[in-house]
Structure 1
Amino acid sequence: MCGGAGTRLWPASREVHPKQFLSLFGARSTFQDTLIRVSNPALFERPIVITNNAYRFMVLEQLAEIGCEADVLLEPMRRDSGPAIAAGAVFAQTRDKEAVVLALAADHVVRDNAAFLAACREGLPAAEAGHIVTFGVQPERPATEYGYISPGEIISGQVHSVAKFVEKPDPATAASYVEAGYLWNSGNFMFRAAALLDEYRKVDRGSVEAIADSVAKAGSDLSFVKLDADAFASAKSISIDYAVMEKTPRCAVVQVACGWSDVGSWHAVWELSDKDGEGNAARGTAVFEDSRNCNVATDRALVALEGVDDLVVVATQDAVLVSGQKDANGLKRLVATLKNVAPQVTEDHIKVHRPWGSYQSVDNGERHQVKRIIVKPGGRLSLQKHHHRSEHWIVVRGTAQVTVNELVKTVHENESIYIPIGAVHRLENPGKIQLELIEVQTGSYFGEDDIIRIEDDYSRS
């Protein structure tokens, strides 16, 4: 599952580029790490990725980067984890009526893959027998940001029944849960597709029928499976915990100690990061003087901290966050305020990702805009025109093939071409390296809705 917005790591994570696609702990995203974790063909079949329309090309790009193939299901709208998991289960049954499904969130970290896979093997017989198995993580501390599971009687091996689920506790209650042997609720599950859907039907038959209908009526869009919007919209928006897990008598839990985190805050990122002798962690360029237990993430600017403790500083190209280390709820309140005051900084970055590459605004004025555009090898923009602006493209790296009305021209490094207002044009990269160019727009209006697409490789025209 990788369709969530993930604003708890703002400003690095935004509505259109959420945390599961960020490289927070190395070269790969947590989405990519999750796929690699379940790539052993002796245990796992071809993965099913459930996401939404906005993230579909990021999913394809990140799949390609790790050499992974998957069936990608597109949700027409967000309906929380209940309908998402049900859709995955219904789709899995189109492959195999007896399919056993492992449902994973794409934004979690697992530091011990071997222990995680051992837990999968341990829980598999219970799932095959009809239990809905959840993974209960051995607590590393009395955390207040997670729900807990109280294990019951042994079903088989290390698999227990679930005595009860409890919500996120206060510190004292969390400490009592750890002392009593409760486990963190990881929100990851294993089950026979038929068993999960049967239990879901008992509490909400209408939603399950709507989801099954959305899969049956799904269309294809490029390489995606596009769930039917009208049917999917009829499903109730609800988490799988509330829809099924807290109601079913078939719930079971397998205990695992695998270095798990849902990376739900900048404090969690700090806990998982390498630190200096004073407990400071940095991603990007940072200098610490007389500072302890701080966490810095910066895209470009150097960040220097002096005489401070327990701070989070996150600097992107259009926003800077300064926050206390441990108040995740404070950031949630801040983002809610920003959505009213400055919604753009919660929705998108200055650098905007597109299926063909990316663009980034460099300068804006009343009658001009300057962008840096990168086109991947083999990528091409839509055949388009504008009513309110002309464009001047200067190639600084690679080779561009440019169409302007009837003209098709190859433009090399240190060369440029002019696109008049109203001209039908297209940009593509025929080369083997990235194409980088500077675009200077002049005119009266520069909104994205002044792009009139005539043809498009990505079904946007």
Structure 2
Amino acid sequence: MHTILLCGGSGQRLWPLSGSIRSKMFLPLLPAPDGGTESMIGRVCRQLGQAGLDQSLLLVAHQQQVALTQRYTGSNHPVIGEPCKRGTFTAAAFGALHLLAAGKAQPEDIICIAPGDMYADDDFFRQFHQFEAILADSEAELLLLGTKPSSPSEQYGYIVPAQEDAGGYAPVLSFAEKPDTATALELMREQALWNCGVFAARLSFLLEHLERLGLPAEPAALTARYPDLPVRSFDKEVAEHCTNAVVVSHVGEWSDLGSWDTLADRLPSQVIGAGGLWGECGNSQLINELEVPLHVIGVSGIVAIAGPEGILIASRKEANLIKEILAENPEMETGSKKGYLKHRMKAVRDIPDR
């Protein structure tokens, strides 16, 4: 089995530290086993290695993010760069065609596609070893990995399974993409699972979808078409149209850490960088990449985040609205790119561990 790790993302939900160049997976904020810190992508690659899955690992990033991807993975794995960001389906196809053209994979081989920006326990990755046997036993075209919801979240997609087979998998009945709270509660009553964004299928299955879309099955030809391609997600383009798919349930820890609220719970300290929290500041988080100090006095339940791209002060529960604000104010992202080019690499090197 070959694993393709998708290293993209728009970089909006964890602004101002993430942006169009440095996505959230490159933030070196998570506690590492050696007592220091590591990024999401570094953590995922480390866990894949511990699970014995790193020998056939390929990372796909935007061409402007190749150097960052290599830096935060120790340059231990091959990284290829897409010319443009065109969604998870296109990135997965780009990686699969690279493996095929290089002679590293054959059409009958199993390809596992996974996001680089997730936070899961070690058992999550060990389950990947079951995929080939389950695909053979179920005779399914596509396998997905899901996990039991801990709350009726509006941030995740859901997979509705049929009754689980004795082989540890269940046929997929339907999908629901980021429903409202009431719908999410109903989905939980139907034993729906959060969609972890992990897919496994034979390479030939992906080649059939490329042919259906009229896309070339050769890397150079696909690269030439990239600028004119629409954004296509793997979920909508493949999974939701597949009538012969199964889902495997993960019982354990999983999150995409897609908001400051969820990320703050995983950080090693309430204060990272220059400044401090003073007085009653329960459930607050401060991260400062600037050289000037940032202080918060007597305010609970907030995030105070400062970097070269900007400063965000928000309620932990409302901080995710920054994505909508950035969408409505694109000039903020323009400033973010300028700030990145001027300050980013120094800021990343100088983040102190506390």
Which TM-score band applies after superposition, normalised by the shorter structure? 0.7 to 0.9
Task: Tell me what 2:213 maps to.
Answer: 205
Deviations 1:8-42 (A, max 9, x none): 10001122222111112132211111112222585
Contact map agreement 1:162 1:251 (CA 8 A) in 2: yes
The unaligned stretches of length 5 or more in structure 2 are 1-5, 32-36, 350-354
Query: Is residue 18 of structure 2 the alignment partner of residue 18 of structure 1?
Result: no
Query: Is residue 166 of structure 2 the alignment partner of residue 183 of structure 1?
Result: no
Deviation of the 1:291 alpha carbon: 2.4
Rounded Cα–Cα distance in structure 2 between residues aligned with 1:36 and 1:251? 29
Contact map agreement 1:135 1:189 (CA 8 A) in 2: yes
Task: Tell me what 1:127 maps to.
Answer: 135
Contact map agreement 1:158 1:254 (CA 8 A) in 2: yes
Relative to structure 1, the CA distance from residue 48 to residue 119 in structure 2 (aligned partners, 3 Å threshold; closer, same or farther) is same
Relative to structure 1, the CA distance from residue 161 to residue 347 in structure 2 (aligned partners, 3 Å threshold; closer, same or farther) is farther
Rounded Cα–Cα distance in structure 2 between residues aligned with 1:63 and 1:117? 17
Task: Tell me what 2:91 maps to.
Answer: 84
CA RMSD of superposed structures (Å):
2.6
Rounded Cα–Cα distance in structure 2 between residues aligned with 1:251 and 1:133? 6
For residues 388-407 of structure 1, the aligned pairs below 5 Å read none
Larger helix proportion of the pair: 2
Letter in 2 for 1:261: S
For residues 151-190 of structure 1, the aligned pairs below 5 Å read 151-155=161-165, 157-190=167-200
Letter in 1 for 2:125: L
Among 250, 254, 263, which residue is 2:248 paired with?
254
Query: Is residue 295 of structure 2 the alignment partner of residue 288 of structure 1?
Result: no
Larger strand proportion of the pair: 1
Contact map agreement 1:312 1:323 (CA 8 A) in 2: yes
Which consecutive aligned stretches of 4+ in structure 1 deviate over 6 angstroms post-superposition? none
Fraction of identical pairs, as percent: 24
Matched residue of 1:188: which SS? strand
Larger Rg: 1
Deviations 1:130-172 (A, max 9, x none): 5311111111222121111111143552111111101212223
The unaligned stretches of length 5 or more in structure 1 are 219-227, 276-280, 361-373, 375-461
Deviation of the 1:314 alpha carbon: 0.2
Relative to structure 1, the CA distance from residue 325 to residue 263 in structure 2 (aligned partners, 3 Å threshold; closer, same or farther) is same
Could you tell me the TM-score, scaled by structure 2's length? 0.84
Rounded Cα–Cα distance in structure 2 between residues aligned with 1:41 and 1:140? 25
Relative to structure 1, the CA distance from residue 99 to residue 40 in structure 2 (aligned partners, 3 Å threshold; closer, same or farther) is farther
Among 117, 122, 125, which residue is 2:125 paired with?
117
How many residues align? The count is 331
Matched residue of 2:235: which SS? helix
Could you tell me the TM-score, scaled by structure 1's length? 0.66
Among 97, 105, 115, which residue is 1:96 paired with?
105
Query: Is residue 264 of structure 2 the alignment partner of residue 270 of structure 1?
Result: yes
Deviation of the 1:92 alpha carbon: 2.9
Letter in 2 for 1:131: E
